[in-house]
Every structure is written in structure tokens, then in C-alpha cells.
Structure 1
Amino acid sequence: MSGDLLPWIYTLAWILAILFGLMLLVGAPFGEALSGFLTGAFGGRRMAYLMATLSRATLIVGMALSVMISFRAGLFNIGGEGQLVAGGFVSALVAILLPGPPLLVLAAAILAGMAAGALWALLAGMLYIYVGVPLLVGSLLLNFPIRYIASYLVAHPFRDVQSGMLQSHLVPDGTWLAYFPGVRLDVGILFIVATSIFAIAYSHTTLHGYRARLNGLSPDFARAVGLPVTRLTLQTLAMSGAIAGLVGAIAVFGIHHRYVDGMLVQPLYAWTGIIAVLLVGMIPVLVPFSGFFFAAIQTGAAGMERSAGVPKEIALVMQAVIILFVASRVSGAILSSQNRAKGGDDGS
């Protein structure tokens, strides 16, 4: 157990040491910067900054769950950004164009966003299975066409010209996700809580989740025992994409109330979700905590800038340190696996 904790202790020590060094470099008092970080992440009047952290964590955790579903199945779907954009744009478009009672329109728009995310993930899966394009490459490349398609549509045929910005018209106000009483946090977080419970239960208690994990551990063995690997792959990717589409819809109806060009790309929700999943070794129950941790880093960094004049780009430096740690763990695991394989070949 202590051996498992040592890497995390080393990582925390490295993060604190680098953060302290950066404080010295910019000439900011460490205590004041730390206080600003904690206030910016968890404080504020009526817990306003904590609500901002939870709002950001909602989208990061959602994308992390999307990644976890596919990664645990050995499917390196890094096209979450494209699936997120597809879900957000389609859900906004459906809400704007579809007449009817607000709650019915909201439900239809969210389902349409999930379907769009699932279909975009399935496209990467079909390129992988039927054309031979590696999933890592295909899912990554598919991020770009959907981004530019959405940018074109929101800049021309569906643009709110009077706003003077590249954005769609507002969705009907009856479809906006309500705020919790007295705080600036919408009920979209409940969707992610429910998704987290579903993802944890799916991973640990369902036959499909077990088969997906088996495929992730050893695809050759999964084929050898007769698992329907092709169908399993497409179903898992569809599930992963649907969660990403849901996150896009939550951003539209809970935060922006319209689709704004770049609103789902520039904050790097999808990429931060990938880091959050890899940091905790794809353990389902830890993914929400990891996502919240990264959200706190980003909002806390803004607090440091306000109170101590420390550039908020320090948050990016901290994430880079974590990425290096994750990369070292992954490469170490690969080398260890290769060494065990070689040892087995030698008869040891």
C-alpha cells in the first residue's frame, strides 16, 4: 500500500516545489498566493467561487467519464472534443428550431445532442473497424471537421447577426436549466452526478462493462473466448460519445443558453478530462474527484491572479507537471509489461 502511495506523494511534492519556485520567480508571497488560490477555488461571497469551480467541474467530470468508458475498453477515443461540439451544436439547433412545450423541447434537444455525440464517435469506430484507420488517429482527426462545420453554420445560416458575435440565437428561456436557489449553479450538475453513478455501476456490476474491461486488458483473449469484439467496440464508443454529447448540451442549456463558436474548445474540457482519467489510473470511483481537482486548479489560479498578481498560466504549468507524471507512469507500466513478457518467454 505504501508503495502505491509513494508516486502520489512525490507528485504532490513536485507540484508544490514548482509552484513555490514560480512564486519566487514572479516575486509573489507564497502565503498570499496560497490564500488567493483557496479563496478563488472554494470561497467568495455566498460561495460564488466554489459554485464556479463546481460549474467547471461539471463539464470536466462529464468529459472524463466519457473518456473513461472508452479507455477502460482499450479504445483510445481522443475525439471527445469533436463529440462534445457535435452534441452542443445539435442540441442548440434543435431547441431553436423545434416548436413545442419547453420541457419537451429540452428533452428532445438533450437526446439529439447525445445522439450526435454518439454518431460522431461511431464514425471513428467504423473507420477503425472497416477501413483500418487507427482509432487514436481517426478520433483525433474527426475533431477538426465538426469544429469547422459548427463554426461555419453558426457564422452564417444560424448566426444571431444582431449580437455581433459568432453565435447562434438564444435557446428558448423555458429550456434553460434552472439554478439552485440562491447560488449560480445550474441543475446540470445533477445530470453528471447521475452519469457518474451510471458509469461506476456499469464498470463494476454489468456484464457489458466486464466484457469491455476484458477487451481493454487483452483484445486477443477477448476474441479467443468468443466475445463480439466488433459490436462491443461500437457500443462502447457510442456510449462514450453520447456522454460527451450530453456534456455539450449541459453547457448550452446551463451556462451559455446558446451555441457560441469556440465555447467548448477553448476551455479544453475534453483534454483536461483525458488527463483527469489517466491521473487516477481509470478507476471509475476516483474520476469525479480527479475532475473536481483540475477544476479547482483552474479557478484557484484565477484567484491567485486577482489577489497576489500571480499569472493564472501557472495552472497550465501545474497541469503540465501532472501530464509528465502520468506519462512517466504509463511508460513505466509499458516497460514493466514488456519485461514481464520477456521473462515469461525465457521460462522464468
Structure 2
Amino acid sequence: MSTTTELPPVTPRRRPGARLLSAALRHPAVVPIGAVIVALLIGAVIIAAAGLDPITAYAAVLNGALDPGTLDYTFSVWGFICGMALAAAIPLRMGEFNLGGNGQLVLGGLAAAVIAGNVPLPGPIVVPLAVLGAAVLSGAFGALSAPLATRFGIPIIISTLLLSPVAVAVVSFLVRFPLGEVGASQAQTPRLPEGARMFALGDLSYSNVGLLIIIAMMVAFWVVDSRTAVGFELRVVGANRRFGSYGGVRVGRLAFGAMATAGAAAGIVGAIIVLSSPYRLIDGALISPGYTFAGLAAALLAGGRPALIPVTAILFTVLQVGGTAMERSADVPRQLSDVLQGVVIVVLALRTVIDQRRTGRSSA
């Protein structure tokens, strides 16, 4: 009687080049870079279909945003986009989406306009007080979504999306009637006193101390995210909410803090805009530039990572500032920049859906 032993199957060794390619494709930067490339290609197709030259259009975008004469304005817009990216990135670290940036932004602007315009204190006191008041009001408004999620089961992405238009409408009413400037041609508050304005940075016209405040906020977020227990809990819950809850993380309290901080960040941005030229709150002026949408796109492109937000915000700053120059010199509507931002978000959203389906199949 003879016995035969079966040998285990021999798996072919992969070549070093194939291993390097596979590792490179799994790198976290592949999808964001790919999303940008896809957006640029789609934009090029749209421009070419209109009978225009994509290279000329994109060159006009770069020239318009990086021209030495407009760098002051470009830095200012970059700061606002970074601030709104923080408002989206902080909840994103724990897997939540804050779509209420517009409401939090205008509430911060409202608080800053009321405090700076009515509190008779010296500038070194009233300006920080206005910024602090904006952070408190917008932070409280942002934090509302956390108990709605934990106690009533309303997802944060839904509650922030639905509450934001309410805040925008309330602020619009207040600016048009009780707080509006009498006899003005548009809905706006009275001009702030000279002592209640954001402190200037040398001879710069657009960038001021508010830019330094936003940079300090980004540094603080990076420190908290990478050096504290709260940052670790945010990342753990973002990776696996059930595991984080099982490990002792109080998800409800963490969500409350994250949404309050996100709302405060957006409110500070609104306060900085109002305390800067033209030194008043104008109805619709805070949301019309699209800082909230660009900040959300920058946060998604960075994956919520605080170290990457300043870099990804550069892309959307160039698109936003250079869009006007593209329309002027290349006859391409500046709305194309909004299309490119939307394509980036769609590609990243598709990647998220695919990852969730893969995770569901692997756990099944």
C-alpha cells in the first residue's frame, strides 16, 4: 500500500517592478491626484468642445492666481478656504460630514458685526471679543447636530444640511431689517468703526491678522490630531465606529466636541471676513464666493489630514482666483472652476462608496 503526499501549490513570485507598482497604486495620494487629473481632463474636454484651447485657459488660471499683483488677494482667499476646510475636516476625521458650513459662516459674521459695531471698547479688546463671540455662536449652532444624531438618530450630514439654510435665512432677515443700514442700496449692516476692524499686516490690502489666526488654527488642529488622545480617538472612530465604542470612546461626546469645534472654525472665518474690508456684513457676501464648497473639496481631497489641507487648498484657491482671469482673457466662463471642484468631489465620493462595498463584502 503506497501513500502519496500532496505538495502545497507553488505561488509564482512577483517581480520587484510589479511589487513596486502595486505598492505605489495603494498609496493614499493616488486617489486624490487621480481625482485632480480626471477633473482637469474633463475640464479640457469641455473647453475643447466649446472651440477653445484648454492650454490657454489653464495658463490663464495660473497667471491670474499667481500674478504678483494679485498674490495679496490670493493669500487671503487661501486662508478663507483653509478655514472652511478645517470646518469640514474636523468631523471628517471621525467619519462625519459637516455640510452646514454656510450657516455656521454667516452666524459667525453676524456675531462679529453685532459685537464690533455696538460694544464701545478699544480695538485690541473688541476685535478678539468679536472673534470669540463668533466662535461661541457658530460652535453652539454646529454642536446642535451631535445630540440630534445620538438621541434622535438624525445623521449629522442630514441635520447640518437642513439647518444651514435656516441660519442663512435668519441672518438675511436680520441684515435686511433690524440690523440693516438705513438708506443703503443693498441689505447690509452699518460700516464698523475704525477701531473695531481686523488688524492689518503691513501695507497688504486683503490679507490681515485674520490670515495668521487661520494658520494658527491649522497648526492647533495638527497638534491635536497627531499629539493628543482626542486626535487618536477621532481617527479610531473614523476608521471603525463600533471598535471605538467598544474600546471605551464616548462617541456622542466626541461628536459634540468635533461639531462644536468645526462650527467655531467656520464662525471665526465669518468674523474675519466681516472685520475686513468693506468692514460690514453684506447679505449673501459670505456665501457667494463659495468658500464653504471649496473648503469641503479641499478637506475631502486631503482625506481630513491636517498636514495636507494647506496643500490641497492651494488647488482650489488657484481655481477660484484664476477663474475670473480665465473668463477675462480666455473667454471661458469662471463657472468651469466650480465644475472642476465638483468633479473632484464626485471622484472622491465614488472612491468612498467602492471602499465601503469592499469592506462590506470582506466582512460578510
Percent of aligned positions that are identical: 31
Normalization by structure 2: what TM-score? 0.88
Question: Of 155, 164, 184, which residue of structure 2 is paired with 1:163?
Answer: 184
Whole-angstrom distance in 1 between the partners of 2:339 and 2:160: 27
2:355 is the alignment partner of 1:333: yes
Whole-angstrom distance in 1 between the partners of 2:312 and 2:277: 22
Cross-structure match for 1:249: 271
Whole-angstrom distance in 2 between the partners of 1:335 and 1:23: 35
2:254 is the alignment partner of 1:228: no
Cross-structure match for 1:145: 166
Whole-angstrom distance in 1 between the partners of 2:87 and 2:139: 11
Contact 2:127 2:196 in 1 (8 A): yes
Contact 1:48 1:183 in 2 (8 A): no
Q: Structure 1 stretch 48-57 or stretch 291-300: which is displaced more?
A: 48-57
- Structure whose residues are more often helix by fraction: 1
Whole-angstrom distance in 2 between the partners of 1:331 and 1:20: 26
3-state secondary structure, aligned to 1:285: coil
Classify 1:230/1:104 alpha carbon distance in 2 versus 1 (closer, same or farther; 3 Å). same
- Gapped runs of 5+ residues in structure 1? 343-348
Q: CA deviation at 1:147?
A: 0.9
Amino acid paired to 1:78 = L
RMSD: 1.8
Amino acid paired to 2:99 = I
2:107 is the alignment partner of 1:86: yes
Whole-angstrom distance in 1 between the partners of 2:167 and 2:285: 14
Whole-angstrom distance in 2 between the partners of 1:129 and 1:30: 48
Cross-structure match for 2:130: 109
Cross-structure match for 2:12: none
Amino acid paired to 2:156 = L
Whole-angstrom distance in 1 between the partners of 2:36 and 2:249: 41
Q: CA deviation at 1:252?
A: 0.8
Whole-angstrom distance in 1 between the partners of 2:128 and 2:70: 30
Cross-structure match for 1:136: 157
Q: Structure 1 stretch 324-333 or stretch 23-32: which is displaced more?
A: 23-32
Normalization by structure 1: what TM-score? 0.91
3-state secondary structure, aligned to 1:209: helix
Amino acid paired to 1:32 = T
2:335 is the alignment partner of 1:320: no
Amino acid paired to 1:81 = N
Question: Of 145, 154, 161, which residue of structure 1 is paired with 2:175?
Answer: 154
Which whole-Å deviations, capped at 9, do the CAs of 1:233-257 have from their partners, x for residues lacking one?
A: 2122111111111111111112441
Cross-structure match for 2:323: 301
Q: CA deviation at 1:31?
A: 4.3
Contact 2:190 2:280 in 1 (8 A): yes
Whole-angstrom distance in 1 between the partners of 2:221 and 2:210: 17
Contact 1:39 1:49 in 2 (8 A): no
2:251 is the alignment partner of 1:218: no
Question: Of 29, 51, 56, which residue of structure 2 is paired with 1:32?
Answer: 56
2:338 is the alignment partner of 1:311: no
Cross-structure match for 2:85: 64
Q: CA deviation at 1:12?
A: 4.2
Cross-structure match for 2:13: none
Q: Structure 1 stretch 15-24 or stretch 265-274: which is displaced more?
A: 15-24
Contact 1:74 1:215 in 2 (8 A): yes
Contact 1:177 1:254 in 2 (8 A): yes
Cross-structure match for 2:19: none
2:196 is the alignment partner of 1:172: no
Whole-angstrom distance in 1 between the partners of 2:41 and 2:126: 51
Whole-angstrom distance in 2 between the partners of 1:84 and 1:174: 23
Which whole-Å deviations, capped at 9, do the CAs of 1:46-97 have from their partners, x for residues lacking one?
A: x232222221111111011121111112332221221111111111111111
Contact 2:32 2:301 in 1 (8 A): no
Q: CA deviation at 1:18?
A: 2.6
Classify 1:297/1:145 alpha carbon distance in 2 versus 1 (closer, same or farther; 3 Å). same
Which whole-Å deviations, capped at 9, do the CAs of 1:142-182 have from their partners, x for residues lacking one?
A: 10221111111111111012322101111222222233334
Classify 1:207/1:263 alpha carbon distance in 2 versus 1 (closer, same or farther; 3 Å). same
Tell me the matched-pair count: 339
Question: Of 280, 285, 289, which residue of structure 1 is paired with 2:302?
Answer: 280
Whole-angstrom distance in 1 between the partners of 2:160 and 2:54: 42
Classify 1:12/1:159 alpha carbon distance in 2 versus 1 (closer, same or farther; 3 Å). closer
Whole-angstrom distance in 2 between the partners of 1:56 and 1:15: 21
Whole-angstrom distance in 1 between the partners of 2:306 and 2:53: 38
